[in-house]
Structure 1
């Protein structure tokens, strides 16, 4: 029973900053193999040093490029399914797949496409991240250049042209599990709060905002949950509190660390879980109640020989069995909780154990 590959859908208008977000993830993959399904390579502007040609037979460099750090980029020209299947057929499967929707496509049909049996068996939707241009929204627009967005819409015959931009924007928010407010450095705190209050009216309960700008990028752990519950070394992972004083030896090759300090995480060990559905519902309530961005971990169900993975972004959660518990492995439920700085750890733990 293979580990399913988490897939994150990134949506948002042209110019919202999806591309720079993806580039940031490519550059901070930290040894993880990421696969990116994107519309256009040209936009990524990845340094030539990072590019190595494609090693897949019958595949042209126009369709797939492999990067020196192990990441793969594929363009999704016409159809999502063949691109996904090509990725899943590889021997070296990616650790995480990121799919950028074209600036106008609605994310919902894409999320539905994950239900195809051949994809569903191997991939799980980690979450939908919607990137918003805060400055444009503050000025009462949805995108930096609405005319360009509209022209792009009209040029693409696959799109539903009755849909005014406002509705597309609303759909992107309705589908979101997390919203990245980009260009946050161009607004002050009051302006950001106003935007959050306004957008919140459209969002589902429990969806959180994270701020991003050219100066302050979002921590990939928050966006992808990668490294959050690294397979089998949960016990060895300390929360960020442990690193406040010894930052020098903590991830010292990661020079962006000081920009990521608005997030924190902690691990909770719990007993057996008899009713996983009820357990999941309880976690979702906690997410809505506290500033939790994502939860990731394993569930031990008495009498079940396999370990169950649970992961969630905002209010979207999924679970699946990934492998048998190993001999000598402590069979227990463990969760890593990641959220905005200042999480009420005691309250969250108490609620989980209640």
Structure 2
């Protein structure tokens, strides 16, 4: 029997992984896609966004969420049983798409596909890393990229990497395809810097492609044929032979009452993110007098909003946002500020 192909989609927080997957679902051309979504935080935002896409491929039984921590740290407890559940479906999926959390290292996950019971039935068609090109242009993945470069030049033996920079290197360095997303937000003069940053960690076998809102032909993302689980040697990691944890990051959820002015709230959330060093904001809000649910997505100080679907009669109309950042966030002050912005 031929193996089922699986695609691992990884990338920095807010890079646009879920948007890319929604586009794949909409252009699957009859292929039955199963989704494994690994959420970091208290609120399963990504699964709800995908199930709200209105496409026939968003069947509930084909979308599995792992909400108990980073997938690369809970492979045996969470990921393998999930894969076995998907493989037991009748009929089985045509292709499995695994969306990692923004904090995940892709290599330990790729290794898991070589486990007994999985390797005979599934192959990693490709590792796709989605990069927020505008964020890279502004150095968002590191607190001060220029200072990091100066330190590296002054002392090549210095342990100067920040968690965010190392995470970026891991995800680009494991990729078969790097999607430079949000290309419309990058000035032409900034592209050499973006391309150069990505090229530092790009494998010789990998390629890059620019995209806007994750809109790429499905044939570009699926069907790479990398068999990545058999090609681990070409994907070096800072954490080879070491345990990986996420003590450098934290997340918490904020409940919100209905809002009246989505534009004003989005602008205020952007200012709050900049003020407190928030990496990522995401969640759902109720707009007073509106039957539709408002999805809010924020990367740094850039916050977007869009209605995705009507509130269901059997669900509470509760506004909740997940806040993600590096350790040490002032949760009380951030919560107070966010509630004042509603």
SS of equivalent residue, structure 2 residue 104: coil
Aligned to 1:180: 179
Aligned to 2:52: 46
Q: Distance in 1 between matches of 2:58 and 2:188?
A: 42
Q: Distance in 2 between matches of 1:223 and 1:317?
A: 18
SS of equivalent residue, structure 1 residue 124: strand
The 5 A counterparts of 1:48-197 are 48=54, 50=56, 65-66=60-61, 72-78=62-68, 79-142=78-141, 164-197=163-196
1:224 correspondence with 2:222: yes
Q: CA deviation at 1:49?
A: 6.2
Q: Distance in 2 between matches of 1:163 and 1:113?
A: 27
Q: Distance in 2 between matches of 1:84 and 1:110?
A: 12
Q: Distance in 1 between matches of 2:48 and 2:13?
A: 14
Q: Residue 206 and residue 128 in structure 1: after superposition, are their counterparts in 2 closer, same or farther (change >3 A)?
A: same
Q: CA deviation at 1:43?
A: 3.5
Q: Distance in 1 between matches of 2:8 and 2:116?
A: 19
Which whole-Å deviations, capped at 9, do the CAs of 1:125-173 have from their partners, x for residues lacking one? Answer: 11110000000110011299xxxxxxxxxxxxxxxxx971111111111
The 5 A counterparts of 1:2-41 are 2-39=1-38, 40=44, 41=47
Which runs of no fewer than 5 residues in structure 2 stay unpaired? Answer: 39-43, 69-77, 144-160, 233-342
Q: Residue 138 and residue 52 in structure 1: after superposition, are their counterparts in 2 closer, same or farther (change >3 A)?
A: closer
CA contact (8 A) 1:16 1:143 kept: no
Q: Residue 101 and residue 31 in structure 1: after superposition, are their counterparts in 2 closer, same or farther (change >3 A)?
A: same
Q: Residue 202 and residue 49 in structure 1: after superposition, are their counterparts in 2 closer, same or farther (change >3 A)?
A: closer
How many residues are matched? 199
Q: Distance in 2 between matches of 1:93 and 1:203?
A: 33
Which whole-Å deviations, capped at 9, do the CAs of 1:307-333 have from their partners, x for residues lacking one? Answer: xxxx3389x879xxxxxxxxxxxxxxx
TM, length-normalised to structure 2: 0.53
SS of equivalent residue, structure 1 residue 120: coil
Q: Distance in 1 between matches of 2:49 and 2:177?
A: 23
TM, length-normalised to structure 1: 0.52
Q: Distance in 2 between matches of 1:99 and 1:165?
A: 22
Which runs of no fewer than 5 residues in structure 1 stay unpaired? Answer: 54-64, 67-71, 145-161, 226-293, 295-310, 319-354
The 5 A counterparts of 1:277-292 are none
CA contact (8 A) 2:142 2:162 kept: no
Q: Specify which of 187, 202, 226 is matched with residue 312 of structure 1.
A: 226
Q: Distance in 1 between matches of 2:58 and 2:202?
A: 40
Q: Residue 317 and residue 108 in structure 1: after superposition, are their counterparts in 2 closer, same or farther (change >3 A)?
A: closer
Q: Residue 186 and residue 93 in structure 1: after superposition, are their counterparts in 2 closer, same or farther (change >3 A)?
A: same
Q: CA deviation at 1:52?
A: 7.6
